[in-house]
Each structure stands twice: as structure tokens, then as C-alpha cells.
Amino acid sequence: MANVVVVGAQWGDEGKGKIVDWLSERADIIARFQGGHNAGHTLVIDGEVFKLSLLPSGIVRGGKLSVIGNGVVLDPWHLVKEIDGLRSQGVTVSPETLMIAENTPLILPIHGELDRARESQNSVAKIGTTGRGIGPAYEDKVGRRSIRVADLADDATLETRVDRALVHHNALRAGLGLDPVDRDKLLADLRAIAPAVLEYAGPVWKVLNENRKAGKRILFEGAQGSLLDIDFGTYPFVTSSNVLAGQAATGTGIGPGSIDFVLGIVKAYTTRVGEGPFPAELTDEVGQRLGERGHEFGTVTGRKRRCGWFDAVLVRQTCATSGVNGIALTKLDVLDGFETLKICVGYELDGQRLDYLPIASDQQARCTPIYEEMPGWSESTEGARSWADLPAEAIKYVRRVEELIECPVALLSTSPERDDTILVTDPFAD
Ligand code: GDP
């Protein structure tokens, strides 16, 4: 009778896909609570590859309800495309298996245009967005000019909402040298797509609360990573939503007291994509080796991820801000064969030792890592499924990580394969 929230506890790409898939088999409902169609997951089930970027991973498993909560921003055209793709692979998507919160804000084509125009014109403010309009859609939500799922059901409301949004957007577009929005086309496109979205619309908060009372297991699937959180991340090089576990409550309409377990996904070393501070970054051959062994290249862009040793300071901080009860430590096998391992245990800033990452960007950029060294192991941990399969040094490394981040390991992942996992604590256990 437990509800579990899964969050990335570093900069994303921690290996959430495998763990969420593993957990979703045990859940009745799988809900997304933030982000948009930028949460790339590849699931391999019985040899078949499924690619998802918006729908919760549970959608490919029969007999479960997948939920898109109000904390998400929804591109209706992308939704239809993703559903069509899954159907062509034999997956059933119906109002019985998918529900979208009526108060979910929409991503419109004008949001993507804005994203791309800004990124191409303003080299000073480059944040490295995916260009899918997610940031501008969140801006409109806070600016109270979003078109939300429920607005699609009433034509008069839809027109009013579109006009309200366009007052802002046309002014902005003029400043960026873009043509004004074609109002009639936008309205026609929205009217055309409306039935395909409304089919799944419902009061998610109510359905989740009823199911919770009925003892169903709900898995809240986070996207990105805690250090990309709009408030607690390395601002402004962050995503445009809250990604911490608390967002699972406001992003779906369930009370925080209904969350029984927060699982933080943590990679056994550190990576970051794109710009922004990264104190433990290694630009030498060790960083290169971590990247090669860990296949640290962007799934869509092929862009090389920046790599570094495990940063216990950051993970202790993200475990605190998300209230993590236990971590899933992934990619331990990538550390096989290193003679010595280092863990960042503090920062030095202006001659002082810090045990947390300060908020100010200039201070973040000046923090230099203080390392602790540990002996590595020459044996392979790849595919280990029990503690007995691990070399003593690997166990010591895991234990030291737990001590430093002040949080226990609940799951340990030793390969991309689903079953190559050591279970210590079942997050769904009563
Ligand atoms: P996400 O962005 O956090 O969902 O991360 P992904 O699901 O994209 O995972 C990143 C990559 O790491 C994928 O290619 C996974 O197959 C791989 N991966 C996950 N866990 C492990 C592991 O324990 N060991 C290794 N070697 N690879 C893993």
C-alpha cells in the first residue's frame, strides 16, 4: 500500500528508465508530474524497443493506468504521434489506460518557435534547451495565459484564451523579428486536435486520491534531475519546472502525506550535459574513460556528456531537498578496473571548506573539489545480482557512498539489463 516517487538525484541521465520500468511492473498507476516530451526513455520489453518521451513508462505494460498530471506541459500533436507509434507496435492506449489532467497547460507550436528564436539569437543567454517549447509553455502557465486541456472543450473559452495568449506573444515576436501568429490557423489546429486530447481528459487528482484510498500502488515518475530543478538547481542552467519530489504532490493533486517512499536515482559517478557549473568535472583521460565506459553520449543529439567522480556533496544535498528515503545506485559496473577511485567530499571556496553547493553562480564556478581516495577493484561487477557477486572493494565503495550522502542504498544496478539489480529495500513494501 505504498506510493513511490522516483527522482533523478544528479543532473539527469542517472538511469531512471531501467529503474522506473522495474518498479512500474509492481505499480497499479504510473504518473508523470513535471516536464514535457523531453524525458526520453527507451524501454526494451521481450526484445521489443519502445521509445517514450511524454507518456509514463507504464503505458507499454497492460493492466495499468498511466497518468499525465497537471505539472506536465503537454504538446497535443506530440501526444497523438506518440500514441500512434505505440499503437503501431501493438500497445493498447485507451481512456482506460491513460488519463490526462484537465488542468494541464498545452505546448503550442508558437512555444517551440520562441524557444528556437531565442536560442539562435541570444548567445549570451543560451541555456541549451531542447527547442520543444517546454520553457515558454511554463512561462505562459505562470503568466496566466495558458491554454489548458479543459479549454479545448468549449469553443468560446478557447477563442478567449488564444486571444489572451496572442497579445503577449505577438509583442514578443515583434521584438524577435518573427511574424505575428496566424490566429485563425492556430484556432483551427487546436479545434482539429481537441477530440484526440479530450478523450483522455479527467480529474486526475480525484482518481489518484480514490485509488490511494483503495490501496492501489502509485508510482510517480520524475524526469530530468534534482540539480536541474528551477529553484534548487544550478540556475539559470536548469529546466523550467520543479523536479524535486515535492512536485509529485502539486503536479498531480495528491497530498504530500500520501507519498510513502522517495527513491533517488544516483549514478556511481557524475555527469552533466551542456553548460553550467560542475565542480567535480574531469577534463583529463579519467573523465574520458568514464564517458567511454558509461556510454555517456546524448541519446538524441549524440553530444558528449561531461563526466567526473562521484560528488557526495551534491547528492547529500539533493537527497535532503527531495527527502529521499533510499537511493538506486546505478552504473556501478562503469567503475570496474580503476585502480583508485575518488569521491568528492567537500569544496574549497576562497580558503574555506564547504559541505554544500552555494547558490550564487560565481561561487559555484569557483568551488574546487576536495577528494577522498579509495582503492578500486579489478574484477567485473557487471551483471551482479547479489552482494556476494561483488568484490569487497566495491561493497566498501557503496557503503562509503551511503555514509557520505546520509542515505541508504535501496537498489543497486550493475548493467542495463532489468534483472541485473540487487534489491536491498523494496520501495513498495508495506
Ligand atoms: P535517464 O535519463 O535517467 O532515464 O537515464 P537512461 O534511462 O537514459 O539511462 C542511461 C543509460 O544507462 C541507458 O542506456 C541505460 O541502459 C544505461 N544503464 C542504466 N543502468 C545501468 C547500469 O547499471 N550499468 C550500465 N552499464 N548501464 C546502465
Q: Could you write out the DSSP letters of every residue in 202-232?
A: E-HHHHHHHHHHTT--EEEE--S-GGG-TTT
pLDDT at residue 43 in the model: 79
Q: Which grid cell is 144?
A: 496566466
Domain 266-423: give its CATH superfamily.
Answer: Adenylosuccinate Synthetase, subunit A, domain 3 (3.90.170.10)
> Average of pLDDT values for 291-306?
85
pLDDT for 299 equals 67
Backbone angles phi, psi at 96, to 5 degrees: -80, -25
Range with the lowest mean pLDDT among 8-12, 16-20, 410-414?
Answer: 16-20
Q: Average the pLDDT over each of 252-261, 286-295, 297-306 and give the range with the smallest value.
A: 297-306
CATH 3.40.440.10 domain position(s) in the chain: 4-104+198-261
Nearest CA to ligand 1 atom 14: 416
Give 4-104+198-261's CATH code, choosing from 3.40.1710.10, 3.90.1150.140, 3.40.440.10, 1.10.3720.10.
Answer: 3.40.440.10
Per-residue pLDDT, 429:
85
pLDDT (tens digit per residue) in 181-214: 999 999 999 999 999 999 999 999 999 999 999 9
Q: How far is the C-alpha of 94 from the C-alpha of 82, rounded, in Å?
A: 13
Region(s) of the chain under CATH 3.90.170.10: 266-423
- The pLDDT of residue 131 is 81
Architecture category of domain 109-197 in CATH:
Orthogonal Bundle (1.10)
Helix (H) or strand (E) holding 263, with range, is strand 261-267
Q: Do 186 and 110 form a contact (C-beta atoms < 8 A)? A: yes
CATH 1.10.300.10 domain span(s) along the chain: 109-197
- What pLDDT digit, counting tens, does each position of 71-104 carry? 999 999 999 999 999 999 999 999 999 999 999 9
330 alpha carbon – ligand 1 mean position (Å): 7
- Residues composing the chain: 430
Active site residues: 13, 41
- What whole-number percentage of the chain has pLDDT above 70? 97
The whole-model pTM stands at: 0.95
Evaluate if residue 412 carries a pLDDT over 90: yes
Q: Are strands 368-375 and 340-349 parallel, antiparallel or unpaired?
A: antiparallel
Cα 18 to averaged position of ligand 1 atoms, centre (Å):
7
Ligand 1, CB cutoff 6 Å, lining residues = 8, 12-18, 41, 299, 330-331, 333-334, 413-416
Residue pLDDT, tens place only, 122-139 = 655 565 667 889 999 999
Q: Whose CA is nearest to atom 9 of ligand 1?
A: 15
Give the pLDDT score at 413. 95
Q: What is the pLDDT of residue 17?
A: 87
Q: Distance from the CA of 42 to the center of ligand 1, in angstroms?
A: 9
Ligand 1 pocket test: which of 30, 37, 330 has the largest number of ligand atoms within 8 Å of its C-beta? Answer: 330
CA-proximal residue: ligand 1, atom 12 (nearest): 15
